[in-house]
Amino acid sequence: MISVINIDKSFDSKKVLNNLKQDFALAEVHGIIGLNGAGKTTFFNILSSFMKPDSGEILYNQKKISRNDVAYLETINFFYSKITGKEYLEIFPLTNQQFELEKINNLLKLPLNEIIETYSTGMKKKLAILSIIKQDKPIYIFDEPFNGLDLETNMALEIIIKNLRTRNKTVFISSHILSPLISVCDEIHLLQQGTFIKNYTKENFSNIEKELFEDFNKSASEIIMNSV
Amino acid sequence: MIKVRIHQIKRQLNELGIGYAFILLAFLAALVFYVYLAYTQKEKSLFLFIISILSILAIQISRSDKEFVFNQVDHPVQNIFAEYFIFTLPVTIPSLFTSHWFYFPLIILAFYFIANIKSTLKQRTVFPNLSKIISPHDFEWLSGLRKTYAGIFIFLLLACITCWIRILPLIFLWFITTSVASFYQECESLPILFASSNSPKNLLKKKMTKSIRFLIIMFIPILIMNSIFNPGFILINIIFLLIQITILIFAILLKYTTYTPNESMKGNTLLLSMVSIGSLIPFVLPIPLIMCFRNYSKAIKNLNFYFND
């Protein structure tokens, strides 16, 4: 079990996470959804120990979660300048014994011997994903992994996430597009104004869109029809 | 554009704090005085003249904002020229007070021609197999060598060719140290930082020992040759090597003192240049060493912020 216990986090005077609490089952894929500014990335930053909370803690198997427990794919990926894709990957330890770069790159088709500046946005995202999955960790976090990916790589990423679940890994994933989350997640958690307000299990995934966007769709339709 | 640059300098000085700003001012004053003294001598003034032009040429060829300036700014050549003219005044104007005053108009003329150069080096992968010699964990060196290989190669070649002369090869090696110090301005992402080491102390130790090793490998053959040709200069060569190592350590510590993930610490350029130039001025020699000691604990403190679980 991963237990998020009363996490608070503020930036300047703005409270981003507000007494956040939630238990997450292990070996499952958890989708985190919420509007912009709901606190998804801040939650992931704290979950991965990239950031400290103002108060509260996160326990993994009843021990304080450590950076070594987590592989984290950030929303925006930063690569050191003038190094090749292959060199970037070599910086990260190869602890996932199943990982075979050549085979997986036949699928992703990255020019690994070229410097990363020559890569497109989607290629950079693929490279960052490779750097994550070459590491064997019990917890994987993917923050907006589908941004900038082509359709084929979207499918490949969904397969990668499903494969992580079969290897009993716990996966957290956020996306602004619901369809890939519905396809890969076991549970989806709605984050609103820094608090988890609702959890959806597979059986009621179909309600998400309706519940989330019903009011918004009504008012948006009115506004757009009258002003655009 | 000059206004923008002045704002950038103000911001850099604010980032550095008042203590460093005073140190920079002291360095600048010492530099102006040193340049003035150098311009009074025939060989040194010629050397300064060539270096001034080559440095501005290197900046013009590699600057990434050139396309923007030429497309979007009115009178781009005049704007670029004004930048070069104004910001090099501390090292060009002292020549006017010496018998080698004629270098000043020549430098200005050269700057104007350089400001007209529109071509930029394209992004391409040079030395794709460099990581067979240098581990990807030393990404600063891989990246830095790919960026500055031409300059480093030329200076290394010049140092080799002139290794029998007393001081000259050391000056070429100093240019290499300055280039290498600039490798440590880009801050890696947190995943790379955490993949590099488990603790700040260990990280700094690794970075320092590796970089010292690389620098020694590069410099030692030339310094040995120089010492063979000039046996009386062995001690000077040893002191020179120690100073270069100090500059490099300072660059590493400065990077991690100001480390912010994913940022390029341009604010460090000024201080780094001053320390590098200061190493050529005998009476400010201890300053880089003092700053190394000062920055070590600061770097550890800054890194602890990121490393603490």
Supply the pLDDT for residue A47: 94
Supply the pLDDT for residue B121: 67
Domain spans in chain A, listed from the N-terminal domain onward: 2-227
The nearest CA of chain B is from the CA of A201 a distance in Å of: 32
Average pLDDT in chain A: 91
Q: Which amino acid is at B302?
A: N
Nearest residue on chain B to A72, alpha-carbon basis: B191
Contact predicate A49/A65, CB 8 Å? yes
Q: Which amino acid is at B210?
A: K
Most confident of A39-43, A211-215, B9-13, B65-69: A39-43
Q: Among B9, B28, B6, B19, which Cα is nearest to B269's?
A: B9
Mean pLDDT of A112-118: 93
- Return the CATH superfamily for domain A2-227: P-loop containing nucleotide triphosphate hydrolases (3.40.50.300)
Supply the pLDDT for residue A85: 96
The nearest CA of chain B is from the CA of A167 a distance in Å of: 23
Given B147, B192, B309, which is nearest A82 (Cβ)?
B147
pLDDT band, residue A76 (cuts 50/70/90): confident
Question: Best residue in B120, B122, B131, B259 to probe A by mutation, most A CBs within 10 Å?
Answer: B131
Pairing of strands A139-143, A55-60: unpaired
CA distance B37 to B39: 5
Cβ <8 Å between B136 and A67: no
Please list every residue in chain B whose beta carbon sits closer than 8 Å to the beta carbon of residue A134: none
The nearest CA of chain A is from the CA of B297 a distance in Å of: 22
Please list every residue in chain A whose beta carbon sits closer than 8 Å to the beta carbon of residue B140: 80
The pair phi, psi for residue A31, each rounded to 5°, is: -90, 140
Helix (H, G, I), strand (E, B) or coil at A141: strand
CA distance B278 to B246: 12
Cβ <8 Å between B128 and A114: yes
Q: Which amino acid is at B226?
A: N
- Tell me the pLDDT tens digit for each residue of B67-117: 888 888 889 999 999 999 998 998 899 999 999 999 999 999 999 999 998
Supply the pLDDT for residue B309: 53
Given A74, A79, A90, which is nearest B131 (Cβ)?
A90
CA distance A129 to A135: 10
CA distance B141 to A30: 40
Q: Which amino acid is at B1?
A: M
Q: Give the count of beta carbons closer than 10 Å to the beta carbon of residue B112.
A: 15
- Tell me the pLDDT tens digit for each residue of B227-258: 999 998 999 999 999 999 999 999 999 999 99
More confident residue, B107 or A216: B107
- Tell me the pLDDT tens digit for each residue of A156-178: 899 999 999 999 999 999 988 88
pLDDT band, residue A212 (cuts 50/70/90): confident
The nearest CA of chain B is from the CA of A91 a distance in Å of: 5
- Name every residue whose Cβ is closer than 8 Å to that of residue B6 and which is 6 or more positions away in sequence: none
Supply the pLDDT for residue B20: 75
Cβ <8 Å between A91 and B195: yes
Supply the pLDDT for residue B282: 73
Token look-up 């040759």 returns: B225
Question: Best residue in A50, A69, A78, A86 to probe B by mutation, most B CBs within 10 Å?
Answer: A78
CA distance B21 to B27: 10
Q: What stretch of H or E contains A190?
A: strand A187-192
Token look-up 């990982």 returns: A99
DSSP string, B7-70: HHHHHHHHHH-HHHHHHHHHHHHHHHHHHHHHHTSHHHHHHHHHHHHHHHHHHHHH-TTHHHHH
| Positions of chain B with pLDDT under 50 | none
What part of B 255-274 touches A (C-beta under 8 Å)?
Answer: 261-262
Overall size of chain B counted in residues = 309
Q: Among B305, B291, B198, B199, which Cα is nearest to B261's?
A: B305
B199: left (phi over 0), alpha (psi -120 to 50) or beta: beta
Q: Is A8 on the interface with B (CB under 8 A)?
A: no
Gap between the terminal Cα atoms of chain B: 44
The pair phi, psi for residue A17, each rounded to 5°, is: -115, 130
Cβ <8 Å between A82 and B261: no
Helix (H, G, I), strand (E, B) or coil at A22: strand
CA distance B88 to B56: 9
